[in-house]
Amino acid sequence: MELIQVIERKKLGFALSDEEIACFAQASVDPATPDYQLSALLMAIRLNGMNAQETTALTLAMARTGDMLSPDVGGITVDKHSTGGVGDTTTLILVPLVAACGGKVLKMSGRGLGHTGGTIDKMESIAGLRATLSQQEMLDIVRRVGCVVAGQSAQLAPADKRLYALRDVTSTVDSIPLIASSIMSKKLASGAQGIVLDVKTGDGALMKTFEDCLKLAQAMVDIGSRAGRRVTALITGMEEPLGSHVGNALEVKEAIDVLSGRTQGPLLQVSLMLGAQMLLLSGLAADAQEAEQKLRGALISGAGLRKLRQMIEAQGGDGLVTQDLSRLPQAKVQLPLHTDEAGYLERVDTTRIGLIAQSLGAGRLQVDDVIDPSVGLVLMKRIGDQVRAGDLLGVIHASDNISAQRAAQALRLALHIGPLPVKAAKQLYALITKDHTEVL
């Protein structure tokens, strides 16, 4: 079968057969296939869409272009995926908590690009930690510790790597079938039997509207269910950074603060909601209430923090950071930002805050950019909080005074203070399973 025939059929709006979709996936990993042919088919899919059967077939075909793991770790392996946000450190909190409750978490994570942070970058701010692991190393750590957080192998769904790069330069990023198959092909290839999806909505999310998030969440749950996996999706808010810390070492610090019981708030709330779903998919709790009680028990007893240290040390890192935060990279400049205004924090430009952290060196413009693990910012106010003149709004962590001053000016513009009280930002919008969608 020739790829040009597949392009022609999708251009005319026909549904593609499994064979035609397999041809597309195999062509994408063949260096002899011209980029322009793959781009033409991506645009045809963007314009004419794909039905549920096509999207599932594309996901499976992409997954099968590389390794397909079948983890045997003595339990149901679970994974969590977030569509990206700012100050989203849930992985470093829920992974050890779920493992402390008996779960087996094989978490495949990525690096940050653009205004959203990457879990692997955060992990690598810990001295000595290795996130690039062989398949055998990952499985050994899960068997011994109960959890691992590792980078996505180049051998997992290699078709996605090329197609993702082409989507970025052909204005085909905003296609739900292409987004869903990209995410789920890697999750299916990694072998997770239970998958919890955290689909972000709001200013700081990649998908801004609830309607688009709901379509994406339903598509991904449907793909996983058709592929024989247990999948649940939550749509959660990104109208403001989820945590108060934005930046790699800073977010590790906040995760440790949460696991130590020193910090409460939305970051812990969302971590518990996602972790509860992971326990349910693992068969370790009868309902969400029991699952959250177990997670809170692991938090209060310190079992979650101990599990984080075990995982860090199993991956070659300095586990003492869980007791001594000064062992994390420290920024040379820490500049406080105060306000002359009074009122209430009514709105946050969350994407701008992510871009501020990126400009300080915490993120990347290009994949091969080198990041500074020590820089970022800490926010002192959340939406709905009262603000008085002279209050501390945040602290900039920078490598020099010039970049700190520039970031402080930008942060002042990203935080909108109004005269009237407003409600706190919403955290949970919907729960989607194979059998039902509950909008909250």
304 vs 155, more confident: 304
Q: Confidence band (pLDDT; 50, 70, 90) for 206?
A: confident
DSSP secondary structure string for all residues of 129-181: ------HHHHHHHHHHHSEEEEEPPTTSSHHHHHHHHHHHHTT-TT-HHHHHH
Single pTM value for the model? 0.92
pLDDT score of 115: 62
Average pLDDT (352-366) is: 89
Task: Give me the pLDDT at residue 125, please.
Answer: 96
Q: Residue 114: which pLDDT band, with cuts at 50, 70 and 90?
A: low
Over residues 399-420, the mean pLDDT reads 97
Q: Directed axis angle between helix 248-259 and helix 90-100, to 10°? A: 40
pLDDT of residue 367: 64
Rounded Cα distance between 28 and 24, Å, is 6
Q: How many whole angstroms separate alpha carbon 20 and alpha carbon 395?
A: 54
Whether 167 is a known active-site residue: answer: yes
Q: Does position 132 have pLDDT exceeding 80, yes or no? A: yes
Considering 81, 245, 309, 397, which one is annotated as catalytic?
A: 81
Q: What is the mean pLDDT of the segment spanning 76-84?
A: 91
At 112 the pLDDT is 65
Active-site annotation holder among 167, 229, 253, 397: 167
Q: Given the DSSP bridges, would you call strands 386-387 and 104-109 parallel, antiparallel or unpaired?
A: unpaired
- What whole-number distance in Å separates Cα of residue 311 and Cα of residue 309? 5
3 state DSSP class of 32: coil
Is 364 a residue of the active site?
no
- Whether 121 has a pLDDT exceeding 70, the answer reads yes
Average pLDDT, whole number, for the chain? 94
Indicate if the pLDDT at residue 224 is higher than 90.
yes
Q: Which of 101-115, 213-227, 286-300 has the lowest mean pLDDT?
A: 101-115
pLDDT at 204 (0 to 100): 83
pLDDT over 90 (residue 203): no
Question: Residue 229's pLDDT is what?
Answer: 94
pLDDT for 275 beyond 90: yes
Q: Tell me, yes or no, if 160 is annotated catalytic.
A: yes
> In sequence order, what are the residues at sequence separation of 6 or more whose Cβ sits closer than 8 angstroms to the Cβ of residue 2?
none
Predicted confidence band of residue 72 (pLDDT cuts 50, 70, 90): confident
Contact (CB, 8 A) for 279 and 98: yes
Using 50, 70 and 90 to split pLDDT, how confident is the model at 364?
confident
Distance from C-alpha of 131 to C-alpha of 232, rounded to nearest angstrom: 26
Contact call for residues 384 and 425 (beta carbons, < 8 A): yes
Residue 119 contacts residue 131 (beta carbons within 8 Å)? no
- Which one from 28, 153, 181, 182 is the annotated catalytic residue? 182
Which of 104, 122, 162, 186 does the annotation list as catalytic? 186
- Give residue 174's pLDDT: 84
Distance CA 173, CA 150 (A): 25
DSSP letter (8 states) at residue 362 = I
What's residue 74's pLDDT? 86
Please say if the pLDDT value at position 342 is more than 80.
Answer: yes
- Active-site residue, 338 included: no
Position 169 scores a pLDDT of 85
Mean pLDDT over 301-326 rounds to 98
81 catalytic? Reply is yes
- Please, which residues bridge with residue 107 across strands? 149
pLDDT at 164: 85
Quick one: average pLDDT of 414-438?
96
* Whether the Cβ atoms of residue 3 and residue 27 lie closer than 8 Å to each other: yes
pLDDT value of position 118 = 83
Give 170 or 84, the one with higher predicted confidence. 170
- pLDDT tens-digit readout, 31-67: 999 999 999 999 999 999 999 999 999 999 999 999 8
Reported as a pLDDT band with limits 50, 70 and 90, residue 324 is very high
Of 79, 88, 121, 160, catalytic: 160
Domains of the chain, CATH where assigned: 3-63 (1.20.970.10), 77-155+167-324+428-439 (3.40.1030.10), 329-418 (3.90.1170.30)
